[in-house]
Structure 1
């Protein structure tokens, strides 16, 4: 028999070391069609061979500029977008991992209750013609078959969990502020008691004061419900507060991964260094950081540059960077980087800028 102490230790080890979801070579290409007959003339490589590991009960942040492919990757993991190639291995509680990417819609249906999403826009993501009972109750009705009083009691409980009064059940979204609407979206995501929640820019549309409240709510719910988060954001200040690990994307590919503290203190890819230079300093009296302003725009994923996709904007680029695609490789200490010169460069973290 396992003692309580041993069981707690096993749980902690599971939480830290076990991958709840793993993407292998995940790819999503959108065809470019032209002409009268819609002939395919190319593809937008929105996600291009991404490997991603999300440990159970942890928060992994996916960061990068707009257009880097992070939201598309999140939607592929939920099968909102059908992956072009690759595997999505999900580990059911106590079960053998299954490949969600290869499942039919019928086979996938039970797993849709395990992985849920919180959307960016709390105004557009809620149907204005539905009450909170209908909005939050829909996944309970469809996924779990709840109806009548059981449904109403469960929705009331969910509203309480996210800081809303249960008597709001029959009100419509237009009666609420942006922060309250996002709480409704979180309640809807939690309705089926998921194990993984994908939060796609979940606070970017909110006021700063409300943003802090929602972030604290997400952290509290994670502790209470043993949730795992994939936190998609372009705001590295928010990511530093929320995430245990960070995955940096550029032009559809992962360019760096690492534990949050280590990555923020000493980035291993020039793109990460540039992103970190924009993180605001919480001390208003501190010397102002030097912002790294990148040249040009994010690489067009329908015409990705040869070699390293970041090389046209990189201040450290050399001849090799224009011709040879860098592999994402282990650098040490659980860190990875897709830079040819990761071991040679001394890049500035948030404390050195």
Structure 2
């Protein structure tokens, strides 16, 4: 096959893959097909796709490949750096790194026992970038002999890296959309829609299994003054600060929700009748301890109402209403916390 026909065939294959990606809910079959296509167009090559963890600056396997298991295990979690292999350098420098001969290149010196055992002698790595040109991974080609890419091979690898970036960014966008559908954008707590979807099921499960359950309704006193005096940015920061305290003081099995502007709801299973009140008192104390004196000087405070599931069948809305009533008693009486009997 001539270079022109090879390149045309590769572009057609990649276009077909992109069309299929638009309808696919799973990225893994797509990446497997990309790897298979590149290895078909570049005979005797081995392809790897690594994903960059932005927090740790380490690379991790993004798709199953045809390299030996021992090699994949050894490079899993490798830290990026200007002189670390081909992929580590490509991710760090955000540019293509072509190593024609692994055996004589300084980037690979410390890894020679591993590459020789795997019979790998060249590696070309291309950074995978998102639409903002931030590195999100690497696309690499290994060969069993020293080799420099031709112009056509270079083009095939670049296009493969590009469509891989489209797939990864699509997955990240879908995950973000799913998260935002059930979570409050500002605080990261669950949102009201999620509460409406799962709250009744949570209550029903407790009733069926004869489990105790509490609902905490939190309201921030004089929160509007914070926005008026210090601005909405400071108010948003305060809401996130309070949300973090709520997350730290609740379990993964609890449902912590931003119910409205400065209102929060927590649904929790109890191990005894006092659990709801104990958690409420701990959250109340931690919030007041964490808030600055200048905000407290605005008469800022927290009122928490607690309602507990009793022996009567109750809906989520009924329990929220009871907790809301308890919260207003706490607010009017300046009690901080009130438990609805």
Provide TM-score, normalisation by structure 2.
0.20
Write 1 or 2 for the structure with the bigger share of helix. Answer: 2
Provide TM-score, normalisation by structure 1.
0.19
Structure having greater relative contact order (Cα 8 Å, sep ≥ 6)? 1
